[in-house]
Structure 1
Amino acid sequence: MNYKIRKAGLEDLDATAELFNLYRIFYRQEPDIEKGKAFLKERILNNESDIFLILVNEKAAGFVQLYKLFHYTKLQKQWLLSDLFVHPDYRGRGLSVALIDRSKQWCAETGACGLMLETEKTNAIGNNLYPRCGFEYDGLHNYYHWWK
């Protein structure tokens, strides 16, 4: 499959927001493309995340969004692979693997020690994909959330 991956900028905001909206719907959120677009625009303008867009025949087919974190035992930067999505019309073609490989390359380019991610236990696609891409399941930690 012929594709290219590039770092998304403001010029890609509309295409990225459409994919981001579908991603949020996948996680049972109400559609809101304008609110999602504003969220992504703020991340890009404030350099708070790095988004890579995968294009097939110049059409946005998927994205990955990475946030900078710091690892307390390795004493290095790491990246949180927060969001990974491929449009349903393009699934099964290796695009998710390509986006993960680009994220690993970004670690090398930025001197980061690696990637971490979390996904829902019910995400069968992701829970099969991530080990195939070299991620190890961390059964030693409990992850908690606090929301205000």
Structure 2
Amino acid sequence: MDDLDIDLWRAITKLYVSDPLTHCYLMYDLIYEYGNIDAVFSVDYNGIVSYILIWNGYRVQGVHLWGYDIDLLNMVDIARDKPVYIHLYTDDYSFSRKIIDIVNQNAKILEFYDMVVDEKSFIQYNNPIVHRLSLDDIEAFIAIKRIQGREIGYEEAQRILLRGRYYGVYIDRMIVAIAGRYIALPEVWVIGDVYVHPDYRGRGYGKAVTSAITRDAVASGAIAMLHVDTENIPAINLYKGLGYRVYRKRIWIYIA
């Protein structure tokens, strides 16, 4: 990605300020992940009308397409050697099918809710066994990620814990539940990676760790946002129990 000129940066800032919940990934990645991203913008005299943002993670590629300029897809490289999630800011199925035609790969259309909560509507769920994870918890964190289905090494675990701000629940010296954040900006935090060991579900641990990281988000003055599959009713009800509400429904395209 070429260096941003001042006029484009002003346009990006204006776009973000107009709708932080939509453009938080763009702003966060430009500030904190600049070396791992690519972005192309479609601009007219009114400002940015569409953009595509590519985040090249070690294990997965995240693609955010905002606006309806599908030609932007031809100006970036979609990964062929790792899973890809294409985030659309619409629930228009006809538009998503056009995108699948362009990427020309086997893909699955998923529906997700963006759910949000602020300090006024947050309903805190206290549980004294919730623990803020630190570098001292790396081995246990690696173990729960392995149960989750993700093998990570020491360096990756260290990076995640330092950047992600995680909470966990320990039972018998084993972490059985985790939740963290992907993004932390003054206006919005994106909460995610909520996971509970299969043997310990139904005990309120998922609600407890989600409450802990959400508490930090809203205490900072930000809106907390998370993404949940529209068919995951237990998770949706859990989040509603903490005061989250459905903000919008969006389509994600998953390419294995």
Alpha-carbon spacing, 1:131–1:8, altered in 2? closer, same or farther (3 Å): same
Unaligned stretches of 5+ in structure 2?
1-126
Report the alpha carbon displacement of residue 145 of structure 1 after superposing the two structures with TM.
6.8
RCO higher in structure (CA 8 A, sep ≥6): 2
> Gaps (5+ residues) in structure 1?
26-31, 71-75
SS at match of 2:187: strand
Equivalences for 1:69-88 in 2 at 5 Å? 69-70=184-185, 76-88=186-198
Residue of 203, 220, 234 corresponding to 1:125: 234
Matched, 1:16 2:141: yes
Matched, 1:142 2:231: no
| Aligned mate of 2:224, from 106, 110, 115 | 115
> Which residue is equivalent to 2:158?
41
Match of 1:101 in 2: 211
What is the DSSP-based 3-state SS (H/G/I as helix, E as strand, rest coil) of the residue aligned with 1:33?
A: coil
Contact 2:190 2:226 in 1 (8 A): yes
Give, in whole Å, the separation in 2 of the partners of 1:132 and 1:99: 13
d(CA) in 2 for partners of 1:121, 1:18: 29
- Measured after TM superposition, the shift of residue 3 of structure 1 is 5.4
Name the CA shift for 1:67/1:34 in 2 (closer, same or farther; >3 Å). Answer: closer
SS in 2 for 1:92: coil
Correspondence for 2:199: 89
TM-score w.r.t. structure 1 length?
A: 0.70
3-state SS in 2 of match to 1:85: strand
Structure having the larger proportion of residues in strand: 2
Give, in angstroms, the shift of residue 132 of structure 1. 2.3
Distance in 1, matches of 2:254 and 2:196, equals 29
